[in-house]
């Protein structure tokens, strides 16, 4: 099992590039199942979750060709509209194929999602939405089975709570449904808007993506298309925090600053100097001491839950008491104990972490428990005195492309061992 070994204490400096968004690429790949014509996607990150999704798309019968960051998919004939457990047990995004398969084939059998152990990710929201579109859905033996032999019918759907994958899944189901579908309380994340851009280029009729109300006029079929995935805002945010935590001078290139406004505001409150040298570039420096800042995770455009762990690591080096409140997932503080092994002073009270700083961080042996927790351990290790060994880095490989070579390129002393 691979591990990362990091010798900390080196300020990061120079330029680091952002890959395409994993969280935008996964639904885009699932959307390729909606058409019999070829779809070409650019800027697909080479990470484990993407490889799993490509294996799944190949399993259902689509032709898949990968050339670096370019992926070409042709689902001319779907032989088996099923996502088996063996293929998707490590990936929570397996439910994204449910909507496309039911919409196009009239049936689907999808294993319940796996992935990070960070709390409930209720599939019931997807199921309720599909039922409102006319699908018959049942759960048995760890699978969701959905059938709509006469096709789906547009409807008004209001989510009880905001769900990103639920919004994406229902959006993909609705584009081939008869009539109009209105999705209320829809997720507003950039990844949802990017999926809509792809679907529109394939011939879908969608209005309001990126807002809380999305309207879809169903069409009878979709065509092929070519699309470039948006930059990964979570990877960009992780690098910005790493630059600040190591008190470096780091430029993050190839990002969308507008997608990071909540993080930028909190970094500036903490005393980090954030500038925009170019429309797709952010630069961070820390001219003085770091100050304590409170954060509460929220759906977009609020502070992203996927950056909570990394920001907590930053707050261990800020002067004063910081309160980190997690509202999206109920079990997303598993990194706190590992940060404490490195010297952090963190107390947990339900969904709130209380961080007292600054406390010196020192290298230690730590274990990654999920994707973003592993990222927090990496950024903390970059700032710690001495050597840190991070175990179970397969978690970080699910969402970060070539993270050790990227960080090494801006001065980090980091290597991978087995």
Give the number of domains in the chain. Answer: 2
- Give the chain's length: 418
Distance CA 239, CA 159 (A): 33
Q: Dump the DSSP string for 272-302.
A: -EEEEEETTEEEEE--S--B---EEB-STTS
Write the CA distances from 88 to 21, 50, 112, 385, integer angstroms: 19, 11, 9, 38
Question: pLDDT digit of tens for each residue in the chain (418 aa)?
Answer: 899 999 999 999 999 999 999 999 999 999 999 999 999 999 999 999 999 999 999 999 999 999 999 999 999 999 889 989 888 777 767 789 999 999 999 999 998 865 433 334 467 888 889 999 999 998 888 888 999 999 999 999 999 999 999 999 999 999 999 999 999 999 999 999 999 999 999 999 999 999 999 999 999 999 999 999 999 999 999 999 999 999 999 999 999 999 999 999 999 999 999 999 999 999 999 999 999 999 999 999 999 999 999 999 999 999 999 999 999 877 779 899 999 999 999 999 999 999 999 999 999 999 998 877 899 999 999 999 999 999 999 889 988 999 999 999 999 999 999 8
Domain that holds residue 336: 3-19+231-417
Are residues 190 and 317 both part of a single domain?
no
pLDDT tens-place string over residues 125-171: 888 899 999 999 988 888 889 999 999 999 999 999 999 999 999 99
Are residues 374 and 236 both part of a single domain?
yes
Catalytic one of 74, 105, 116, 255:
116
CATH number at residue 49: 3.65.10.10
| Residue 116 a catalytic site member | yes
pLDDT tens-place string over residues 299-342: 999 999 999 999 999 999 999 999 999 998 777 798 999 999 99
Q: Mark which of 161, 194, 228 sits at the end of a domain.
A: 228
With beta carbons less than 8 A apart as the criterion, state whether 250 and 243 touch. yes
N- to C-terminal Cα distance for the chain?
Answer: 6
Q: What is the pLDDT of residue 116?
A: 36
Are residues 304 and 224 both part of a single domain?
no
Q: Mark which of 211, 228, 245 sits at the end of a domain.
A: 228
Residue 238: its H or E element: helix 233-245
The whole-model pTM stands at: 0.95
| Pairing relationship of beta strands 13-17 and 3-7 according to DSSP bridges | unpaired
Are residues 159 and 92 both part of a single domain?
yes
């Amino acid at each position: 099992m691979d591990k990362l070994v990091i010798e900390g204490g080196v300020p990061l400096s120079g330029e680091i590039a952002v890959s395409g968004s994993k969280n935008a690429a996964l639904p885009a790949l699932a959307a390729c199942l909606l058409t019999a014509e070829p779809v070409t996607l650019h800027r697909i990150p080479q990470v484990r979750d993407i490889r799993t999704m490509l294996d799944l798309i190949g399993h259902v019968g689509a032709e898949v060709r990968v050339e670096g960051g370019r992926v070409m998919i042709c689902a001319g004939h779907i032989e088996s509209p099923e996502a088996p457990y063996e293929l998707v047990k490590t990936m929570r995004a397996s439910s994204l194929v449910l909507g496309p398969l039911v919409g196009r084939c009239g049936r689907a059998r999808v294993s319940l999602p796996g992935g990070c152990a960070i709390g409930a990710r209720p599939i019931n929201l997807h199921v309720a939405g599909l039922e409102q579109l006319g699908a018959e859905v049942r759960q048995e033996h760890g699978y969701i089975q959905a059938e709509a032999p006469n096709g789906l019918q547009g409807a008004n759907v209001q989510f009880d709570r905001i769900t990103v994958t639920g919004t994406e899944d229902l959006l993909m189901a609705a584009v081939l449904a008869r009539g109009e579908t209105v999705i209320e309380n829809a997720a507003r994340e950039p990844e949802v808007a990017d999926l809509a851009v792809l679907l529109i280029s394939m011939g879908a009729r969608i209005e309001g993506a990126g807002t809380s109300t999305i309207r879809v006029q169903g069409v009878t079929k979709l065509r092929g298309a070519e699309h470039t995935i948006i930059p990964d805002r979570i990877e960009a945010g992780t690098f910005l925090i790493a630059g600040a935590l190591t008190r470096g001078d780091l430029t993050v290139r190839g990002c969308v600053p507008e997608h990071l406004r909540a993080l930028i505001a909190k970094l500036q409150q903490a005393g980090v100097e954030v500038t925009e040298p170019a429309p797709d570039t952010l630069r961070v420096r820390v001219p003085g001491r770091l100050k304590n800042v409170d954060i509460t995770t929220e759906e977009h455009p609020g502070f992203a839950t996927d950056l909570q762990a990394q920001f907590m690591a930053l707050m261990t080096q800020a002067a004063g008491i910081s309160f980190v409140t997690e509202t999206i997932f109920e079990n997303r503080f598993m990194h706190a104990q590992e940060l404490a092994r490195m010297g952090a002073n963190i107390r947990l009270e339900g969904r709130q972490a209380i961080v007292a700083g600054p406390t010196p961080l020192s290298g230690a042996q730590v274990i990654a428990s999920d994707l973003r927790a592993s990222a927090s351990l990496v950024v903390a290790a970059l700032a710690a005195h001495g050597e840190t060994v991070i175990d179970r880095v397969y978690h970080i490989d699910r969402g970060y492309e070539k993270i050790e070579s990227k960080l090494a390129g801006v001065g980090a002393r980091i290597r991978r061992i087995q």
